[in-house]
Structure 1
Amino acid sequence: MSSEYGVPEPESLSAMNESPIAETSVRLALPAEANAIGEVQVAAWRRAYEGLLPADVLLDLNPAQFAAQWRAALLSPGEARNRVMVALAGRDLVGFAAITPSDDPDADPRTDALVAELAVKPDATRAGHGSRLLNAVVDTIRADGFSRVTVWVNSTDDVLRAFYTEAGWAPDGAHRELDLYGDGAVRIKQIRLHTDPGPQD
């Protein structure tokens, strides 16, 4: 509020001194955000693998273990094109994506990128964060000189498949079956989707 003479009231002055915060944004992740990334991944995996993995396995997922791996990856990414991006709602980290040159047997890591992970907190879905992340991923992949990008999705996850296909991705015919314990007890079938990031401007 302001006085009748147009002079800002004290509370307005303090608000003016605060840096504006974008409602939503996507940028490269910082090592200090590893804990938040681990939390998002565990929450997203518990939803994505519900009914596919035993409940006790999902319950035992440890955000701190995931965080340690992400912290190490962010501090020492190795390949220059290994990137982790985060989606923010204000100051809150609500999603992330990890990009890497593809290590699939039929891929060329010089030209083929892989979305190794793309996850949004379950309570932050349907707010556009996933789409913003995916757009930023494709832009980054294009800038890094890749000509193709792929992602593996669970064959039963119709929602995730629709998310990618509505963004222009399509199955490329590749499929695989993950044997999670190495004894055949838990198998998860996946299909691969791909898209062309387009030429650089």
Structure 2
Amino acid sequence: MTSNPFPRLTGSADVSVRPARAGDAAAIARVQGVTWRTAYRTLLPAAVLDEWDEAAVADSWLAAVTAPPSAGHRVLVAVEREAVVGFAAVATGPEAAEISTLLVEPRWGRRGHGSRLLAAVTDLASADGTTRLEVWLAESDQASADFYESAGWAPDGWARTLDTGSAPLRELRWHVELGEEDTDR
């Protein structure tokens, strides 16, 4: 019998976070597409959304789940009943882990799925001995900034500008240090 990889996660069987499986790839792509079209329409170039190829995105997520580039690369899904409602992708390293994406489909928002995903990522990073978590957020993405700030994260002063093919996208790096209270759980 193996121990629970997400010790802080409790609650009913109706909601959970678990490692993504190959069969989740299409649902992950769907959540990403719906969330980008709904929450990020003003941040992303119209061409990215207009030319969205859900099958190709699903193939990319399938590869991320079944053949990650390293043991530290993981994809987690938030599930309500049997439906995948959100996901997170993270790469852990010896000193820092980077969340490349954490999305919850907007119609499933405000039910704790994002917080459960973030807690699971924190648990994985702590179990891997990581002492710091990082994420890049679009400077104008106030909803995500509010979410991470409510969880104790803060900008660390680093910024980057991405060439999106249309308007540049400026991102700020947010972080949280994992202390003893995080690694003892």
What range describes the TM-score normalised by the shorter chain of this pair?
Answer: 0.7 to 0.9
Are 2:176 and 1:195 equivalent residues in the alignment?
Answer: yes
Shift, 1:151, TM fit: 0.3
> What TM-score, normalized by structure 1, do the two folds share?
0.80
Highest relative contact order (Cα 8 Å, sep 6+), 1 or 2?
Answer: 2
Identity in percent: 43
Shift, 1:145, TM fit: 1.2
Q: Match of 1:29?
A: 20
- Residue ranges of structure 1 left out of the alignment (5+ in a row): 1-20, 102-108
Shift, 1:196, TM fit: 1.6
- Deviations, residues 110-133 of structure 1 (Å, cap 9, x unaligned): 311100110111111111111111
Q: Match of 2:50?
A: 59
What letter matches 1:59 in structure 2? D
Q: Match of 1:48?
A: 39
CA distance in 2, matches of 1:52, 1:147: 31
What secondary structure is seen at the aligned counterpart in 1 of 2:136? strand
CA contact (8 A) 1:150 1:192 kept: yes
The root-mean-square deviation of aligned C-alpha atoms, in Å, is 1.4
Among 113, 136, 148, which residue is 2:97 paired with? 113
What letter matches 1:81 in structure 2? G
- Residue ranges of structure 2 left out of the alignment (5+ in a row): 1-11
- Deviations, residues 42-68 of structure 1 (Å, cap 9, x unaligned): 111122321233434312212211110
Are 2:137 and 1:153 equivalent residues in the alignment?
Answer: yes
Among 83, 89, 107, which residue is 2:74 paired with? 83
What letter matches 2:170 in structure 1? K
Larger radius of gyration: 1
CA contact (8 A) 2:39 2:106 kept: no
CA contact (8 A) 1:98 1:115 kept: yes
What letter matches 1:40 in structure 2? V
